[in-house]
Amino acid sequence: MNCFDCSRRGATEVAIASCVNCGAGVCPDHVVEDETTITRIVGLGLEQALPLKARRILCEKCEAALSQKR
């Protein structure tokens, strides 16, 4: 698989990961490594955040969209 963003610029670069949000292939220049909190249910409508965070791989566009402030 090739990097989606590079291909739109006319270049061919091998993707090292896929965006978890949109599924686009991303190369080392366009990958964004993020963290996400893992929770568990501890009661009726109650969640508890666990201490370790999970890795989340995003493309630059999805990272920008998901991190925008309201």
DSSP state of 16: S
- Encoding tokens for residue 2? 């090739």
Contact 27, 19 (CB under 8 A): no
Q: How many CB atoms lie within 10 A of CB 12?
A: 9
Strands (E), 1-70: 17-18, 25-26, 31-43, 46-59
Whether this prediction's pTM lies above 0.85 is answered by: no
pLDDT tens, position by position, 50-67: 999 999 999 999 999 999
Phi, psi of 60 (to 5 degrees): -60, -40
Query: Which residues of the chain register pLDDT less than 50?
Result: none
